[in-house]
Amino acid sequence: MARKKKSVQAAPAGRAGKGGKAAASAAEASAGKVAPSRANKGGAVRASAANASARDRAPSGARASKGGKSVATAAGARDLTPSGAAPFDLSEVRKRIDGVDEQLQALINERAKLAQLVGISKSIDGRTVDFYRPEREAQVLRMAKDRNKGPLRDDEVLRLFREIMSACLAQQEPLKVAFLGPEGTFTQTAVFNHFGHSVRALPLPSIDDVFREVEAGNTDFGVVPVENSTEGVVNNTLDRFLNSPLKISGEVELRINQFLMGSMQSLDRIARICSHPQSLAQCRAWLDQYLPNVERVPVASNAEGARRARDEEGTAAIAGQTAAEVYGLKVLAAEIEDRADNSTRFFVIGRKLSEPSGSDRTTLLLSVGHTDAPGALFRLLEPFAQHEVSMTRIESRPSHRRKWDYVFFIDIEGHANDERVAKALQALEKRASLFRVLGSYPRAVL
């Protein structure tokens, strides 16, 4: 089946939507057929500003909503009240907005004072990390999502609450969070998605360094990639758990869009592309189609690739859009990943286990005496079936004890303290030669 082409221009007039219907091209727009546009998630075309002439036929101050119905816009707000009875007084509306802003500010500061009381009640002399509770933050975000009635989208409301909680927690001292750097990596984005921007995010050159800094107590938490939906597991992260005492205290799931960037004006000036091996693999088909003869150079991180693209003539990079902004590069092609659902999962690592949040996941490190014995894995995992515990992931890695001997990393639904999970783990521990609960933590909300 022919592969869907993606735009290779710095500022494409449109691109194919996830539903597979094509957005109108700039060429069609210039010919007077339709305006440049972008496909929405369902594949239907949304009108751009250049469609104004077509919208002139619609009632004044109206636009198409997601469901295709007409809704009042800011322009039409001067003509109609919500009841349609009388014209709006714009100055009065602005006064009301100012009043709401004043109330919001007062309430946010009141929340900050209450957060201070919570911290004092837990530890007068403690550090911020001592009273940070990931399970409580997950509960707050879920409640915010459940009660949201719009018009703001759920993800917008969750981001607002995340930043409010981040600012409240950082009043005395911000959390220190290590991540796989340098700046501009997807891991840095995962840090801010999970902790908000009121933390000290510390970029480090390797996953090993992130583990070491958290183990030494130099940082409160670390964030490391663990698996990608297209390319699979990040082996180095799993292997570090074999000898590390750290626990998993949270997870982040991040939608990954890959961008080709550089200092050149066109694709034919690219001599080499630098990126992390995972990103190169996630864009393999696109590169084969559009840049089949260009050298692909694996580097330690996407941000390192972007730095080289900034400093070296003929070098381009594949990275997130943030890297283009940080390193001052042009976006030569947008969203070039081969799969539309390309996502990466990250672990938040710390020194303590989390309490139950009500919607949790548990990660285990397991092995048996002889992994090559008939039925060894079946006998090890049988307690999950007996106690109706759902297993969502299993990965094997060399045990480093002897050749052809393996350990298993397993994710299950629920918290280790949940009754059914606790019974299953108790039975499983009796069968395993290696048994460790790496973490029970809230499932990703954002």
pLDDT tens for residues 37-57? Answer: 333 433 433 333 334 333 333
d(CA 63, CA 69): 8
- Residue 282's CB is within 10 A of a number of other CB atoms, namely 24
Lowest-pLDDT range, 8-17, 174-183, 341-350? 8-17
Per-residue pLDDT averaged across 240-245, rounded? 95
pTM, whole model, 2 decimals? 0.75
> Pick from 222, 241, 244: which is nearest to 233 by CA?
241
Distance of CA 178 to the CA centre of its chain: 16
DSSP state of 59: P
Lowest-pLDDT range, 41-55, 160-174, 208-222? 41-55
Lowest-pLDDT range, 112-116, 139-143, 166-170, 367-371? 367-371
User: What percent of the chain is predicted at pLDDT more than 90?
Assistant: 66
Helices (H), 2-89: 26-30, 52-55
SS3 281: helix
d(CA 135, CA 123): 18
Q: Are strands 315-319 and 259-262 parallel, antiparallel or unpaired?
A: antiparallel
Per-residue pLDDT averaged across 242-270, rounded? 95
| Structure token digits, residue 63 | 């636009």
Question: In the prediction, which pLDDT does 287 show?
Answer: 97
Looking at the predicted structure, is the pLDDT value of residue 73 above 90? no
For the chain, domains (ranges, CATH) are 91-169 (1.20.59.10), 176-256 (3.40.190.10), 259-341 (3.40.190.10), 355-442 (3.30.70.260)
What is the arrangement of strands in the sheet containing 295-298, beginning at the earlier edge strand? 295-298, 272-275, 315-319, 259-262, 330-333
SS3 54: helix
**pLDDT, tens digit, for every residue of 258-316?**
999 999 999 999 999 999 999 999 999 999 999 999 999 999 889 889 999 999 999 99
Looking at the predicted structure, is the pLDDT value of residue 257 above 80? yes
* Partner residues linked to 433 by β-bridges: none
Question: In the prediction, which pLDDT does 120 show?
Answer: 59
With helix as H, strand as E and coil as C, how does 199-241 read? CEEEEECCHHHHHHHHHCCCCCEEEEEEEECCCEECHHHHHHC
Per-residue pLDDT averaged across 216-243, rounded? 94
Please give the helix or strand (H or E) that residue 94 lies within, else none: helix 90-122
Question: In the prediction, which pLDDT does 350 show?
Answer: 96
Task: Please answer whether residues 364 and 438 qualify as being in contact, where contact means their C-beta atoms are separated by less than 8 angstroms.
Answer: yes
Confidence of residue 75 (pLDDT cuts 50, 70, 90): very low
Task: Please answer whether residues 216 and 351 qualify as being in contact, where contact means their C-beta atoms are separated by less than 8 angstroms.
Answer: no
d(CA 217, CA 358): 29
Looking at the predicted structure, is the pLDDT value of residue 3 above 80? no
> Pick from 299, 186, 278: which is nearest to 231 by CA?
278
Looking at the predicted structure, is the pLDDT value of residue 25 above 80? no
d(CA 272, CA 311): 13
Task: Please answer whether residues 308 and 362 qualify as being in contact, where contact means their C-beta atoms are separated by less than 8 angstroms.
Answer: no
Confidence of residue 409 (pLDDT cuts 50, 70, 90): very high
**pLDDT, tens digit, for every residue of 304-359?**
899 999 999 999 999 999 899 999 999 999 999 999 999 999 999 999 999 999 99
Residue 109: HSE in the Cβ half-sphere, 13 Å Cα cutoff: 6
d(CA 258, CA 302): 10
Looking at the predicted structure, is the pLDDT value of residue 122 above 60? no
Angle in degrees, CA 100, 102, 108, rounded to 5: 100
| Structure token digits, residue 165 | 């909680």
Question: In the prediction, which pLDDT does 222 show?
Answer: 97
Looking at the predicted structure, is the pLDDT value of residue 414 above 80? yes
